[in-house]
Amino acid sequence: MDLSISIIAYNRIDNIAKCITSIQEHTTGVSYEVIIVAYRFGPENLSTLRSMFPTARIKESNEIRGFAENQNLALRSATGRYCLILNDDTFVIDNMIATLIKTLDALPGAGLVSPLLLNPDLTVQQSGRGRYRLLNWFLPDKRGGSDPRATATGIEGVFRTAAVSGSCFMARRGTLADVGFFCEDYFFCPEDYALSIEAERKGYGIYLNKGARIVHQHGAASVPIYDIIWPVALQGGFLFVGRHYNRAVEMIIRSLTFMKNLAMCLVLLSRRRKDKEIWLKACKNAMRYSFSSLPPKELFERLARERGIL
């Protein structure tokens, strides 16, 4: 088996159907299995999913789990030489999968490789991924996270890059096992950065192939619960900074983030926008937990209970 494709489906039949159908239509010359983690699927949607894709391996995930935990459910049972980690809000437009496999075959030292991520209008969304920058906690990244320092390898279209995006990348199954798969301490970010750093630390190369393309409908998989997602994402970032920098830097980032969210509240109060109330609540929750020691998953559960969705 060449490849195991691991996809978390968030109870959206339209997303997962488009994603898998595009793989079936555009992928040739590759033996693969599809593992779908059906996260908190209703009985009707689960039945529909099984009937639409009878050959897929479907793993039900009904407890509260983040991206890392759900992906690891699939990846630990994968049988392919390589694994493709994929969001359900992506769709394939060419034989991207075969291209990424050829890249890993051509680079024995490579552990991870990502394609070019495109917006639905086919403009570039992300081209590789730069190193984690503390500055981007406070200033927008005009590169969209792309890697301006990606270096050519001598293989056409293939570059060394700093990190992969969890929305789509391919890895050797042995690399994932060696780094311990995704770190489950993070709920939904930045576990892809953490995985990239650990892979690089263990000597695996991280690459971008610009000749492989996939469309990412950014945000299509998520539910508009920014009042929960925003503070939980920040908590994951604080955890990451503490581990990969030091505790002093973490506390500086927490303090500055508190002030940033206060400023955002003041700006929101002075403006008219349809999502004003939800973002005001998001910023207030972020300030409430700026100095909390709660793990990201526990914070998610607490905020979800407060909101009445658990």
Q: Are residues 303 and 207 in the same domain?
A: no
- What CATH number is attached to the domain comprising 57? 3.90.550.10
Per-residue model confidence as pLDDT tens digits over 205-232:
999 999 999 999 876 555 568 899 999 9
Residue 305 DSSP code: H
Which pLDDT value is given to residue 308?
Answer: 85
Mean pLDDT of 141-160: 69
Please check the confidence at residue 114 and state whether its pLDDT lies above 60: yes
Instruction: Name the burial class of residue 298, with classes exposed (0-12), middle (13-18) and buried (19+) by CB atoms within 10 angstroms of its CB.
Output: middle
Statement: residue 287 has pLDDT above 70: yes
| Same domain (yes/no): 43, 125 | yes
Asked whether 236 and 187 are in contact (CB, 8 A), the reply is yes
| pLDDT over 70 percentage in the chain | 92
In sequence order, the 6+-apart residues with CB closer than 8 A to the CB of 26 are: 92, 93, 94, 95, 96, 97
The DSSP line for 201-237 is HTT-EEEEEEEEEEEE-TTTTS-S-HHHHHHHHHHHH
Name the residue among 173, 163, 249, 177 with its Cα closest to residue 207. 163
Please give the Cα distance from 293 to 215 (Å, whole number).
Answer: 37
Same domain, 146 and 289: no
Residues 65, 119 share a domain: yes
Residue 209 and residue 232 in one domain: no
pLDDT at site 230: 92
pLDDT of residue 222: 56
Residue 149 has pLDDT above 90, yes or no: no
For tokens 């049972």, the residue is 77
pLDDT at 147: 60
Residue 244 inside a domain? The answer is yes
What's the token pair of residue 172? 């050797």
Number of domains in the chain: 2
Predicted TM-score of the model (pTM): 0.91
Dihedral sign of CA atoms 24, 27, 28, 33 in order: negative
Dihedral-angle region of residue 123 (phi above 0 means left; psi in -120 to 50 means alpha; beta otherwise): beta
Average pLDDT over residues 40-44: 92
Q: Residue 148: what pLDDT?
A: 62
* C-alpha dist (Å) from residue 245 to 24, 51, 130, 170, 192: 43, 48, 17, 27, 17
Burial call 121-130: b when 16+ CB within 10 Å, e when fewer: eeeebbbbbb
**Per residue in 74-88, pLDDT tens?**
999 999 999 999 999
Whether residue 287 is found in the same domain as residue 167: no
| DSSP reduced 3-state for 26 | helix
Please indicate, yes or no, whether residues 243 and 176 belong to a single structural domain of this protein: no
| 129 and 41 in a common domain | yes
pLDDT at position 130 is 81
Q: Is residue 37 part of a domain?
A: yes
Q: Which residue has the higher pLDDT, 140 or 3?
A: 3
Within-domain flag for 172:
yes
Question: pLDDT-derived band of residue 290, with 50, 70 and 90 as boundaries?
Answer: very high
> Which of residues 307 and 31 earns the better pLDDT score?
31
Q: What is the pLDDT of residue 139?
A: 55
**Which DSSP category does 247 fall into?**
H
Q: Report the C-alpha gap between 128 and 223 in whole angstroms.
A: 26
Residue 29 has φ and ψ, to the nearest 5°, of 75, 20
Q: What are the beta bridge partners of residue 47?
A: none
Q: Of 216, 236, 263, which residue is a domain's last?
A: 216
Residue 256 confidence class, pLDDT cut points 50, 70, 90: very high
Residues 147 and 289 in one domain: no
pLDDT value of position 183: 96
**CB neighbours (10 Å) of residue 202?**
11
**Domain limit, last residue, from 189, 216, 243:** 216
What domain range includes position 111? 3-216
The answer to whether residue 310 scores a pLDDT higher than 70 is yes
Determine the pLDDT at residue 153.
73
* pLDDT cut 90: percent of the chain above it: 78
211 and 236 together in one domain: no
pLDDT digits (tens, 9 = 90+) for 165-203: 999 999 999 999 999 999 999 998 899 999 999 999 999
Is residue 258 scored above 90 in pLDDT? yes
Predicted confidence at residue 185, as pLDDT, reads: 95
**Omega before 148 cis (within 30°)?**
no
- Between 51 and 131, the more confident residue is 51
Cα(265)–Cα(270) distance, rounded to whole angstroms? 9
Kindly state whether residue 149 falls inside one of the protein's structural domains. Answer: yes
Residues in the chain: 310
